[in-house]
Chains A and B, each alone.
Chain A
Amino acid sequence: MAPFWLLKKLPGYMPPEGRWEHLAEPYKGDEVVVLDCETSCFDKKKGELLSVAAVRVKGGEIRLSEALDLTINSNAVTDPDAVRVHYLRREDRRKGVAVSEAVEKVLDFVGNRPICGFYIEYDRAILNRYIKQLHNFQLPNRFIEVSEIYVRQKRKYIPELQLDLTFEGLAKDLNVPVIERHTAMGDVISTALMYIKLTHFNQRR
């Protein structure tokens, strides 16, 4: 990635300012945040945020006790198909928090740590859309794509290897339990386990 001072000069780059300025500082710790969003439909531009979950991962440890698990009080009309995927009916969302509050909480939780996920590009786009609206900047954090690490490791020696790159496929190949698939929190835990296994375990050997 280009240095921060250079990035700031790029047209279209929107760095955080004021309250969120620290997000753009380089990260020195050894934690990552694993994050997952569930949306009303699977579309970067239209999908409305319904729930978001995130945990901090340090070494082999998943800090479940300090996890973030938010449901958003959204009126978005959900695709009946999507409901079947994430089970968040409009009724379930009534008790949730306002989307602006959720976004602030996520930003506080994440700080300047790297953000990791499965198909993280989608979550990044969704979050950036909201953050741009509310605070007029885009997440400067480093993003880590779990499936990318997976592919890189697998194809290191056999470049033409056929891989099953679905969430379930990865979980199966890595022998990681799939916990409550399609709840934000469940997906986050499975993703975090994949991440630990791909990075932490291999470094030891």
Chain B
Amino acid sequence: MTIQINLNQPPFSFLSEQQLEWLTRRLDLVFFAAGAVILDEGDVSPGVFIVYKGVVEETGKNGQQVFSQYGKEDIFDVRAVLESSCKHRYTAIEETLCYLLRAKDFIQLLDESSDFSIYFKTDLGTQEELVNQRSNDVSEFILARIDEDSIRPPVYVTGQTSLARVATIMEEQKYDAVLVRTARQVGIVTGTDLLRATLLGDKTKQSKVADIAQFELVEVKYGDFLFSALLKMTQHHIERVIVTRDGDIVGMLELMDMLSVFSTHSHVIAMRIEQAKTLKELVVAARRLEILIDSLSGQGVKVVAIMELITTLNRRLMERAFELIFPKRLQNSVCILVLGSEGRGEQILKTDQDNAIILQNEHDREAVLPLLQNLHQALLDFGYPPCPGGVMFINDSWINTVDGWVGKVQRWMRSGRPEPMMNMAIFMDAEPVCGNRGLFVPVKASWQSESLRSSMISAWFAKPALQFETPLTFLGKIREDHGTIDIKKGGIFPLVHGVRALAFEYAISACNTLDRLDKLHELNVLDDETTQGLKDALLFFLRTRLRQQLEQESDNPGLNQQLKLDSLRSVDRSLLRHALHRVKKFKQLLVNHYHLESF
């Protein structure tokens, strides 16, 4: 008798073959009529139920408060088995068929398999980690080949070039080795060669490069496996090889570049951003970020790490564009801020440009405006869609002097209306990325004054976190919602905004939500469990959203906030439920903290 549920997914996949076999022989099948109460508060659960067909709702005793819903392959109520009795009421909404694993059999499995028991006995974060460990695909780096992405175009000098000139070229091109062409042959000279020849040897700045170049080149063929290049480097104790195609030199392969190919292409992209001399080159690098995210996510890199990396690269990208567009004179008299998710460092796929600018002198405005247009266009080319709310430095209301911004912040804060409050919220996540960062200091200080924080303003500020309903009854409504939930409104926004409000109240200067949570924890505003729970929940939302955004084919996958529930694995559905539950609890905490029930 085969069991009609998929046992190849966590937590069952943690069991051995024999344990699974044993498990399938221990399952009973129970059939419940629509409306039947499966378990009631205070009941001793006969075991864990695994839903095969139908929907079960978990509610409070009087059926008022809905905690959660369970669909196919979801498991309940583990807590009732591990603890003494059931805390909530479980009702079959439709006719429901459940497999029943008796308590003693379930406990026996927990005793036998440590992974299986860890899954059930630990919190969300550990559960998620355990699941991710198991579901990583085997990385295919071993099969990567030498291609355009991994090599650098060669830079040639003639044999007659002076060492000083070679050094300059290396510096300009940001290359550590150049090829030396003489009448008869081609050689290579590296930075180390130059150092050794001038500092240790008897060569001067004016010596000819042909004298120190090495003409015995180690070559690999274009299209070879990368690891064969790695082998050659190890054999010859060198850090770069020449790549040839049909006998012609097409480029150089550096050890550093190759290592970065092996561990994603992030280094290559960073390098391209650094080396870019035109906006066009930056666009190429920017367009590559998405592929990078995809491969990082596919390799199971943690979402925190991806976030940090992408934030760094994004900011660097913007800074380079800024350096290319703004003349040196103006670079120090403005400060460009990124706002919203980009400012918090939580943007992974490009969503929109939220940015603003601080001017040092009002009279620079005229000069700066056309440059800002250019920068805006560059950002569009990089793939940042324009901000639908117009929160961009090309709009007058987001260009201001220091004094102007300080005044604006005061007006926003004291307005008590939702719209200015949301502007304030976006602006509060500002992070200076280019230009004179000093200009931002007095602006930021303007909203960290004691009198603002302790007043009604903080309550007004926190209120939008309650704006959207937590979609906690989604499973039953799956058809109505076309099987999706809005993860931004339902999960991410309330969490992020609530944390932002608390950060404002306690004058925490960090912008990243995870950092803010840590600070709030340090200040004893939030307890251990809430802090960890919210962090886990946020990372889970971001990771799940990212995964689905990457799967879909569209120009701006980052704009999609709809989470398709039926393409989630059942274990992810259960994690999602837990995470949303945390958000709901957090919203309650905010209501109590700011007395929002009276608003």
Contact = CB atoms under 8 A, between A and B. Distances in A.
B28 interface: yes
Most buried by A among B2, B31, B33, B97: B31
Nearest to B25: A65
B594 interface: no
Interface in A146-181: 175, 177, 179-180
A120 to B, nearest CB: 20
Contacts of B26: 65
B109 to A, nearest CB: 14
Chain A interface, >50% SS class: helix
A196 B98 CA distance: 14
A177 B4 contact: yes
A60 B25 contact: no
Given A177-B53, A177-B97, A180-B2, A64 B32 contact: no
B101 to A, nearest CB: 9
Given A177-B53, A177-B97, A193-B97, A65 B1 contact: no
Contact of B31 (A63, A180, A196): A196
Contacts of A69: 1
Interface stretch (A14-22, A128-136, A197-205): A197-205
B36 A204 contact: yes
A60 B53 contact: no
Interface residues of A, number: 22
Contact of B29 (A64, A180, A200, A201): A64
Contact of B1 (A60, A175, A185): A185
A61 B4 contact: no
B521 to A, nearest CB: 46
Contact of A201 (B1, B2, B33): B33
B27 interface: yes
B30 A62 contact: yes
Contacts of B31: 60-62, 193, 196-197, 200
Contacts of B30: 60-62
Interface string A28-72: 000000000000000000000000000000001111110101000
Nearest to A203: B33
27 contacts: A60-B31, A60-B33, A61-B28, A61-B29, A61-B31, A62-B29, A62-B31, A63-B28, A64-B1, A64-B27, A64-B29, A64-B99, A65-B25, A65-B28, A67-B1, A69-B1, A175-B95, A177-B4, A177-B97, A180-B1, A192-B29, A196-B31, A200-B31, A200-B33, A201-B33, A204-B33, A204-B36
Interface of A: 60-65, 67, 69, 175, 177, 179-180, 185-186, 189, 192-193, 196-197, 200-201, 204
